[in-house]
Amino acid sequence: MPSLAALRPYLRDALRDDLIAAVVVSVLLIPQSLAYAMLAGLPPQVGLYASLLPPLVYAALGSSPYLNIGPVAVLALMIMQTLQLAPAGVSPSEAALVLAAEVGVLLGAAALLRLHALAALLSVPVLHGFETGATIAIAASQIPVLIGSLATGGTLPDLGRSLQAHGFDWHGIGALFGVTALLALIAVRRLPKGLVSRLAPLGVLLAAIGIAWAWNPLGLSRVGELPPLALAFTLPRLDPELWTAMLPGAALIGLLGYVSSLAVAESLARRVGQRVDSRRELMGLAGANIAAALSGGMPAAASFSRSVLMSDAGSRTRMTGVFVAGLMGIALLTLSPLLAWCPKPVLAASIMVAVLSGLKFGPYRDAWRYDPAEAALMWAVTLLVIFVGITAALGLGVLGAIALLLKRSARPHVALIGRIPGTEHYRNFERHQVLLDPLVLGLRIDESLLFLNGRSLADVVQGLLDTHPSTRRVLLQMSPVNSIDFSGLSALKELHETLERQGRRLDLSEVKGPVLDRLKASGWEEWFRGRLYLSHHLGMTASD
């Protein structure tokens, strides 16, 4: 136990800020936890359970003082689609516990195996395309709830078929509550940032609850009486068929939850010059999801909106998460009668405003200007989320990002470089006015030599030699080369032998230490007859 002397600096410097941040975030978390659980097709109390222990466990294992862990809109949509794959006879709540447990186990295994580089599987275009598509799909799925319709659907075609099956029904009282709440929430977002604007969404929710209780109109869809809000610690259902059915969805939820949470953590850390430990983020999310599985919750991750709010509210340490958990515990014990009167259309309005506030189309324009192929991938992922489903969208996104990487790496960029007059600097002759030596062909390899691109090295160099027939030596500047695998070594040997047959010599300059160590360990002195130069200029001006 830390001593009072050790706690005194925290009590003096950070306690007040952490408490204020926890109160502000809890105000937003209470309605969002209910809404996102219902979005996932789960009882509303499941969202409250997922907001209690997960932030507490993350505070113990994670690294960011700004992340709020709990139900997230995008993951709720993924959970809804995954739960549809559960075997017959399994309730959504039971399947959600298994899903959370699998997410936690997978992330925990990734942390133990140091696989935090998995974040690279979702590139920025794929991640943004997915988030935009999910935002649109979530907002569309809430339109029927907003107007009191019984239609449901996670994609636009499913939603359209459901609306048609229900005869495009709607309920006037429900629509009145939903549309009024939607307009009110939009209006309060325009208020100046401050305590009033932060408490305003809760005020809208409480006002709707008060009106519903005083008026009690017939036909208004409400959350309804909640069971006693007390945590019941239990193991997820041990059904092999259920665990197998949930596993693919758990892998995608875990990957997206980790990548998006890490992106939020790093973004907020950069604001104050801090760094985030990506492996500890894996551990924190793993523990949070296992805690959710053992306490009746649902898969959890970091919420962008709540995390930004927590940062803006002045959170100083991860103790904010502990205080959030305590406040949610108080809510569990005291708010059940109040929340029962909450109109579902109002929760739908809160979901729509929350997700649509982050909708951005500017990155599509920027990506098109920079790389049309990545922009096309971004659009494809977005459209697949909206019209087909999340699994297909993420699958295409990962495969598409890998395909673009392979395309870029398949042919190494080899630049013909010459000396800038009056200096010892060498630059690409296509971009600068440089001096070329007719006897020495200076080339710069701008990629690591790997199995992806090694085979084409000799062809690229030979193409340049065909335009410079007087060349007697080829000098490769190797400073950009960080690694050479066995395929790259074979390509280098092939180039050496080809030049030797032509009566030319292959020399290397500026080879990095680790690369040279591996070359020497491979016994390359047995076949390499060229020279090694410390600098490219020394190699170009050597007389031998």
DSSP string, 239-251: -HHHHHHHHHHHH
What is the model's pLDDT at position 414?
87
CATH number reported for the structural domain that contains residue 421 in this entry: 3.30.750.24
Residues 264 and 372 in one domain: yes
Beta carbons of 323 and 68 less than 8 angstroms apart: no
Tell me the average pLDDT across 322-350: 84
In the chain, the percentage of residues whose pLDDT exceeds 70 is 95
User: Mean of the pLDDT values across residues 538-544?
Assistant: 88
Same domain, 388 and 418: no
Domain that holds residue 460: 414-541
Rounded-to-integer distance, Cα 52 and Cα 280, Å = 20
Domain boundary among 404, 429, 458: 404
Answer for the pair 72, 301: CB distance below 8 angstroms, yes or no. Answer: yes
The span from the CA of 135 to the CA of 81, in Å, is: 15
Region 467-483 average pLDDT: 93
Question: Cα(first)–Cα(last) distance of the chain, in Å?
Answer: 71
Per-residue pLDDT averaged across 77-100, rounded? 93
- For 238-274, letters b (16+ CB in 10 Å) and e give ebeebbebbbebbebbbbbbbbbbbbbbbebbeeeee
Q: What average pLDDT does this structure show over 183-203?
A: 78
Per-residue pLDDT at 489: 92
Distance CA 56, CA 167 (A): 46
Query: 373 and 430, same structural domain?
Result: no
pLDDT at 342: 85
Which tokens hold the place of 357?
């506030």
What are the tens digits of pLDDT across the range 303-316?
Answer: 877 887 787 777 88
Q: Which of 438, 103, 369, 476 minimizes the C-alpha distance to 253?
A: 103
The continuous run of DSSP H or E covering 369 comes out as: helix 362-370
Per-residue buried b or exposed e for 27-43, using 16+ beta carbons within 10 Å of the residue's own CB: bbbbbbbbbbbbbbbbb
Closest CA to 266 of 304, 322, 313: 304
Q: Is the pLDDT of residue 7 over 80?
A: no
SS3 annotation, 403-420: HHHHHHHCCCCEEEEEEC
409 lies in some domain: no
Residue type, 512: K
The verdict on 430 and 306 lying in the same domain is no
Residue 242 domain-assigned?
yes
Q: Provide the number of structural domains found in the chain.
A: 2
Q: Which two tokens stand for residue 105?
A: 């186990």
Distance of CA 33 to the CA centre of its chain: 20
Mean pLDDT lowest among 14-28, 54-68, 364-378, 477-491:
14-28
Instruction: Tell me which DSSP letter residue 459 carries.
Output: H
**What does R_g of the chain's alpha carbons equal in angstroms?**
29
pTM: 0.74
* Model pLDDT, residue 5: 60
Does residue 232 lie within any of the structural domains?
Answer: yes
Asked if 416 and 536 touch (Cβ cutoff 8 Å), the reply is no
pLDDT digits (tens, 9 = 90+) for 131-174: 888 888 888 888 888 888 888 887 888 888 888 887 677 788 98
| Residue 44 and residue 339 in contact, taking contact as beta carbons nearer than 8 Å | yes
Cα–Cα distance for residue pair 544/539, rounded to 1 Å: 9
pLDDT (0 to 100) of residue 164: 83
Are residues 400 and 471 located together in one domain of the fold?
no
420 in the same domain as 400: no
264 and 367 both lie in a single domain: yes
- Residue 1 pLDDT: 44
pLDDT at 3 over 60: no
Q: How far is 524 from 460, CA to CA, in rounded Å?
A: 22
Within-domain flag for 426: yes
| Domain endpoint, select from 404, 424, 451 | 404
Shared-domain flag, residues 395 and 497: no
Q: Name which residue leads in pLDDT, 345 or 358.
A: 345
Q: Both 308 and 430 in a single domain?
A: no
Q: Which residues contact 343 (CB under 8 A, 6 or more apart)?
A: 174, 177, 178, 181, 208, 209, 212, 220, 221, 222, 223
Look at residue 143 and tell me if it is in a domain: yes
Question: Could you report the per-residue pLDDT of 394-423, keeping only the tens digit for each?
Answer: 888 888 888 887 787 776 788 999 999 999
Please give the residue that has the higher pLDDT: either 508 or 201. 508
Same domain, 439 and 348: no
Lowest mean pLDDT among 241-245, 392-396, 422-426, 481-485: 392-396
Q: Which of 352, 375, 404 is the last residue of a domain?
A: 404
Residue 300 predicted with pLDDT over 70? yes
Q: State whether 387 and 461 are in the same domain.
A: no
Write down how long the chain is. 544
Q: Read off the pLDDT of residues 233-277 as tens digits, 9 standing for 90 and up.
A: 788 999 999 999 999 999 999 988 898 888 888 877 877 777 888
H helical segments located in 40-155? 44-49, 53-61, 73-83, 92-112, 124-146
What was the pLDDT predicted at 452?
77
Is the residue at 269 inside a domain? yes
Mean pLDDT rounded to a whole number for the chain: 86
Please check the confidence at residue 180 and state whether its pLDDT lies above 90: yes
* pLDDT at position 273: 74
Question: Pick the residue with more confidence: 227 or 406?
Answer: 406
Residue 345 clears pLDDT 70, i.e. is over it:
yes
> Does 389 share its domain with 422?
no
Question: What pLDDT sits at residue 2?
Answer: 52
Tell me the two tokens of residue 489: 């070594």
